[in-house]
Each structure stands twice: as structure tokens, then as C-alpha cells.
Amino acid sequence: MSTPIKALVWGEFRHEKKNPKVAAIYPQGMHETIAGFLRKEPDLQVSTAWLDQPEHGLTKEALASTDVLLWWGHMAHGDVADEVVERVRRRVLEGMGLIVLHSGHYAKIFKALMGTTCSLKWRESTDKERIWNVAPHHPITAGIGDYFEIPAEEMYGEPFGIPTPDELIFISWFTGGEVFRSGATWQRGSGRVFYFRPGHETYPTYHQAQVQRVIANAVRWARPTVCIPDNCPNSAPLEPLPADAEAADRPTEGHR
């Protein structure tokens, strides 16, 4: 446990440039705020990347040296290159952890890993969000207690178009009368995926201690223990088979 966990925080970093309200809350960008609180954790080594960098900052090399990728995107999901999405997906299936934040529910990478619509109800207003811990045994909820509150947040409501999570971690209560599965995990290949709902750009959510704690816990939880590249091998038998009169004609190459 002595080598640090390499976390890469990816931000869309566009709202901050266009909307003064967002810039006031996150002057260096949301990704820098997230990276900032993670950098206080001694076992994490944190870098950042964003949409308008070459290859969105997600080069093969950058991903190869990433243990856990955190993803915040919203207005520009469509601007993320399909080739980069596929590269990230491959790394998750090999073992890299992925933490998808808030509006990232509609990010190409999340939809690609879930296979479903990932749709939901939403409302930007004055709702309070109370996030209930339904998995008090889980490492992601360490130190969180029974629930915590975010004074004002965008509402997300059910039904949420996801496959049944492996583990349901949080359920949110909203003032306006809705509920939402706000924290959930899925194993995808050798990689662990965690979706965490809070974090609309017009609220100071990522400055809140409990939100920071959940995200730091999740980075540790999502740390890979293996890296297993995809393959689909032709395999020799381990037990004797009957003689094969047609052996010479059998394909030994290629599932496509």
C-alpha cells in the first residue's frame, strides 16, 4: 500500500469560461477544485486533464499511468472523440478505476460501459439534497454517517436508466419530492466503476467536506489490483479428445 494511487481528474472545463457564476465558484475550473482536495490525501498522486487539450489530455501514455480516472462533463459530451472514449473504455476493462460525477451520467464513456440510456428526471432549482447511506459497511461510505445534506443542488429523479448496480451505496431525498440512486457501483471487466450524483456547476458542491470524503474514499476503492488486456484465445484441450478427422480444416484463428 506504499506506492501512491495515481488519480487523473478530467473536467470539461467550459462552463467555467462561459458562465461567471460557475467561474466564481470554481475559479481554476472544477477539475482543479477536485484535484485540490484529493492532493491533500498523502496516498494519492493527482493530475488533471480537460476537453480542449490535445486528445482531451487522455493520451495512451496518460491513461497507461492512471490508476483511477474521475470524469466531470456536461454540455459538451458530444465533443469527446469516439476514439478517446474507446481508449478509456479499454483501460477500464483492463483494470483502471472510473468515477463518474453528476452530469457525467450522459458522458459517452458512462453510456458505453452501462449499455443503457442513463436518462433521468432533472430540475435546476432550490432543492436541498439529503444523501442517505444505504451501505454503511462499504469503504466508499467510511466516515460519512447515516446521511449528509447539500443545501442546494440540481435535482435528479428516478427512474434512472442504468443496469441494476452491483452495489447501491446512496439514495437521495430532494425537497421537491423526488428520490434518486445517487451512488452505485458496477464491475466492468477488471475495472471498478462508481457513479456519484452531486456536483452541478452552479452550486459549490465540491467544496463540501462530505462530498470530498466520498470521492477520496472512492478513489481508494477503485484502485486497480490487476491489468488484464483483452484477448480471445484459441485454446488447446486439457483433457484427451476423440480423434478429429477434420482437424486440418478447423480454423485456429480469429474470433472477430
Among 54, 61, 231, 248, binds its own copies (CB under 8 A): 231
User: Do β-strands 5-11 and 68-72 pair in parallel, antiparallel, or remain unpaired?
Assistant: parallel
DSSP string of 139-191? GGGTTT-SEEEESS--EEESPP--PPPSEEEEEEEETTS-EEEEEEEEEETTE
169 binds its own copies (CB under 8 A): no
32 binds its own copies (CB under 8 A): no
Compute the distance between CA of residue 33 and CA of residue 46 in angstroms, rounded to an integer: 12
- Measured CA to CA in angstroms, residue 73 lies from 108, 136, 200 at distances of 10, 29, 10
23 binds its own copies (CB under 8 A): no
Q: Shortest distance, CB of residue 35 to its own copies, whole angstroms?
A: 25
Segment holding 89, helix H or strand E:
helix 82-94
Cβ nearer to its own copies, comparing 16 with 35: 16
Q: Shortest distance, CB of residue 209 to its own copies, whole angstroms?
A: 19
- Count the Cβ atoms, other than its own, within 10 Å of residue 157: 16
Q: Shortest distance, CB of residue 239 to its own copies, whole angstroms?
A: 4
DSSP structure class, residue 204: -
Q: Are 208 and 220 in contact (CB under 8 A)?
A: no
Scanning 44-52, 63-71, 169-177, 206-214 for contacts with its own copies by CB under 8 A, the matching segment is: 169-177
43 binds its own copies (CB under 8 A): no
12 binds its own copies (CB under 8 A): no
200-229 residues in contact with its own copies (CB under 8 A) are 225-226, 228
Q: Shortest distance, CB of residue 224 to its own copies, whole angstroms?
A: 8
Cβ nearer to its own copies, comparing 23 with 179: 179
Scanning 9-17, 23-31, 47-55, 110-118 for contacts with its own copies by CB under 8 A, the matching segment is: 110-118
Q: Are 223 and 41 in contact (CB under 8 A)?
A: no
Q: Are 187 and 163 in contact (CB under 8 A)?
A: no
67-96 residues in contact with its own copies (CB under 8 A) are 75, 77-78, 89, 93, 95
118-147 residues in contact with its own copies (CB under 8 A) are 119-127, 130, 132-137, 139, 142, 146
